[in-house]
Amino acid sequence: MAVVKTATTLEEMAQDLAERASENLKGVILDLLRTGVDVGREPLLLECSLSGLRDSTGNSIDQIRVASIGLDARVSPPVISSSPIGHQTSLIGRKREPSPKRRKLTELGSEHARTFDQEVHNFVVTSQTGGDVGTAVRTELTPQHQIMQRSTLEKFLAGIWQSIYSGIKLDPTEIIEQWQAIESSGQPRLLTTERDSAFRRPSAAQTSFERMNVLTRKVSQASRTCRSLEVIVQAHWVQCFDDRVAELTLSLPREKAKKQTIVEACMGFSWSEKELRNKMGVWRGYHDIALSGGWAALVFAGMGLYRFCKYRSSFTAGTFDTLKARKHRFEVAADTLHPRWRHLLGIIGRPTERKYTGHPHDWVVAGPGDEALPLPKTYHQWDKDFSYTHLDEANIDADFWGASDPRTVSSPSSDGAYTCDTCGEHQSDDPTANYCSCFPNLYGSVKAVPAPVQIFRTPNGKNNGLIACCTVESGAAIGEFIGQITSGLADLDVMVGQTDSTTYQIWQGRQGNHTRFINHSCRPNSEYERFVWLGTQRIVLVSRGVRAEEEITVDYSDVYWRDLDKVCLCGHSQCRYNKRGGNLPVAPAPS
C-alpha cells in the first residue's frame, strides 16, 4: 500500500489509508464468502497488518500488525429457500406480515403475478411459496454491513442522488427573497398566517416553534444555495486559471506562466501561495467533477464533497468515467425535480434553461453518457401515439365503479379511526395523527418524496426497465402498484385484485407510475405485498435488498409466462423461461 503523497498531516495520512482499506475490504470479504465459508453464527475476528513499510533510514520493516477487530455475531447469513413452487390462490401478492422490521431474517416466497403486453395475460393472482425463484433474503443491515458495503465513490454518488431526491430547493430566488425581507423589515420574514394561528389558538411555544421551523428552513435553504453557488464559482475559477496559464504560455515557458498566474491570483485573493495552492487542490476537484459528471453532479453533491476533493482517494480514471456515465441521469432528475437549479449557473454566464422538462419519468435514461430519450419515442415502433400519464394515486374508473372503491376491505371504527392490521397502530393521512410506519415513504408522512428510480433502456432487448439510483434496503417500499382501477378488460395486461367481496383490475397501460416499467427476473430483487391503508387494499412493491445502480425486478410468476410466446431475458443462470419454443421480439407496450 503506497503512502499517500498529498497528505499534509499524520491525521490526513491515517484517514486516507483507512478509507482505501475500507474500499477494498468489501471485495476481499465477498471473495471469501463466495468460496462457501460459513460466517454469521459465531463472533468474527478481523486481523489487519501493514507491510511494505520502511524505517527512517530506508530499510524495509517486516509486516506490522495494526489492528485486531472483533465483529460480533450479528452478521446475518442469506437463506436459500428450497420449498417447491406452490399453489395458486385468489390473493394478489404476499400479505404484509406483522412487524417486519423486528424480524432479523425471514424467508419469503415469490408470490405475485403480473402481466403486461399486447397479448392477454390477465394477472392472476398467485401465492407461490419459494421454489427455485425463492432466494428470499430479508436481513437487517448491521452497522458492519453498512460500513463494508459502500466505497467512497459509492457514498459520494449516493450523496448526489439523495440531495436531488430530497426536499431541498436549490434556487437563487431563495437568497434574494431572504435578503429583501431582511432589508425591508430589519429581520428575516417569518411566515405563519394570522388566520391559521387564530383558528388553532396555538400556545406560545407552538407559535415560536412554528416560526423557527420556517426561519430555519429558509436560512438552511439559502445557505445550501449559497454553498452551491460557491462551488460553481470555485470550479469555474479553475477553468479561468487554466485559460490564463494557456494565454501566458504563448509568450512564457509553461512553469513561468503558471507561476505568474498564481501570483496574480494571490494578489486578487490576498492569500499566501501556500493558502492558494491548498484551496486550488480542492477547487480543481470541483472542476473535474463538473467536467465529467456535469454541473448537476457538483451542485447537488452532498456533505462529502469537500472531503472527497480534499483527500482525492477516489480520484481515478474509473471515478470520472462513472461520473460521466451518470451525467445525463443526474440532469434528468435535477431538471425535472428542481426546475430552477440551472439559474445558479447564471452566476458564471452558463445557460440557465433546463434541458429535461416535465415528469422525471417522461425520460428514459440511456447508455453511459448518452442523452435521455423522451418516453413515447421508446414505444414508437409499436405505437406511434404512445403517451403516458403519471399518477400519484390510483384512478378509479367511475364508468364501472361509480363513486365506490372496489378495493375497500374495512370500515373505520365508530370514532372514524383506522387501525393497521399489520402493526396494530392508528393510521391517518394527517401525519400528526398517524402512528403506522409500515411504509413511511408511501403513507401517513409529511409529503412523500419521489422514489429515487429512473426508467432506463435495458441493454438486452427488454426495451425499458427500472433502475435504482440509491440502495433500497430490504423491506422498504419501492412504490405502490398504481393505475386505473377498472374491471372487464379483455386482451390487455392487467393486475387482478381481489377482496372478500369483489374482483377488480389495475390497468397501467396509459396511466400509472414507475412500477409499470419493472421487468421480470427469475431471481427478482423485489416482490409485491398486499397492504391495507385506511381500509383500502393496496399492492406495494417491496425491496428484497436492491443495490444502487441495479435493475429493479420482480417475478411475474409462472402464470404470466405460461401462455406467453417469448423467452425470458433476465439472464439469470437459473432462469426458468429462457429455453422456450417462441422467440418473438419483445413487444412491451401494454395497450
Site residues (CB under 6 A) for ligand SAM?
116-117, 462-465, 516-517, 519-520, 566, 568-570, 586-588
Q: d(Cα 502, Cα 11) in Å, to the nearest integer?
A: 66
In terms of DSSP H, where are the helices of 338-452?
398-401
- 443 vs 577, which CB is nearer to ligand SAM? 577
- 315 vs 481, which CB is nearer to ligand SAM? 481
Give least dist CB 365 to ligand SAM, A.
13
Q: d(Cα 439, Cα 442) in Å, to the nearest integer?
A: 6
Nearby residues of 51 by Cβ (< 8 Å), 6 or more positions away: 62, 63, 64
Give least dist CB 568 to ligand SAM, A.
4
The answer to whether 561 touches 582, Cβ cutoff 8 Å, is no
- 157 vs 364, which CB is nearer to ligand SAM? 364
Q: How far is CA 564 from CA 164, 525, 561, in A?
A: 39, 22, 5
The answer to whether 238 touches 280, Cβ cutoff 8 Å, is yes
User: How does 462-482 read in b/e, with b if 16+ C-beta sit within 10 Å?
Assistant: bbbbbbbbbbbebbbbbbbbb
- Give the SS3 label for residue 529: strand
Query: CA Rg, the chain, in Å?
Result: 28
- 151 vs 464, which CB is nearer to ligand SAM? 464
In single-letter form, the type of residue at position 292 comes to S
The residue behind cell 401465492 is 127
Cross-sheet strand order for the sheet of 526-533: 94-95, 526-533, 536-543, 477-480
Give least dist CB 116 to ligand SAM, A.
3
Nearby residues of 157 by Cβ (< 8 Å), 6 or more positions away: 322, 326, 548
Give least dist CB 33 to ligand SAM, A.
27
- 252 vs 575, which CB is nearer to ligand SAM? 575
- 139 vs 553, which CB is nearer to ligand SAM? 553
In single-letter form, the type of residue at position 17 comes to L
Give least dist CB 488 to ligand SAM, A.
21
**DSSP 8-state class, residue 183:** H
- 222 vs 570, which CB is nearer to ligand SAM? 570
- 341 vs 560, which CB is nearer to ligand SAM? 560
Closest by CA to 138, choosing from 107, 109, 110, 111, is: 107
Cell of 139: 436481513
In single-letter form, the type of residue at position 261 comes to T
Q: d(Cα 287, Cα 331) in Å, to the nearest integer?
A: 17
- Give the SS3 label for residue 170: coil
Give least dist CB 9 to ligand SAM, A.
53
Q: d(Cα 237, Cα 234) in Å, to the nearest integer?
A: 5
- 96 vs 361, which CB is nearer to ligand SAM? 361
Give least dist CB 388 to ligand SAM, A.
10
CA angle 463, 468, 471 (to 5 degrees): 155
- 261 vs 557, which CB is nearer to ligand SAM? 557
Give least dist CB 457 to ligand SAM, A.
9
Give least dist CB 471 to ligand SAM, A.
22
Beta strands in 94-229 (DSSP E): 94-95
Q: d(Cα 357, Cα 336) in Å, to the nearest integer?
A: 6
How are beta strands 418-419 and 495-498 bridged, if at all? Answer: unpaired
- 127 vs 553, which CB is nearer to ligand SAM? 553
Give least dist CB 88 to ligand SAM, A.
20
Q: d(Cα 177, Cα 246) in Å, to the nearest integer?
A: 40
Give least dist CB 523 to ligand SAM, A.
11
Give least dist CB 123 to ligand SAM, A.
10
Cell of 563: 401462455
Half-sphere exposure of 338 (CA within 13 A, CB side): 26
- 123 vs 315, which CB is nearer to ligand SAM? 123
- 290 vs 554, which CB is nearer to ligand SAM? 554
Give least dist CB 387 to ligand SAM, A.
14
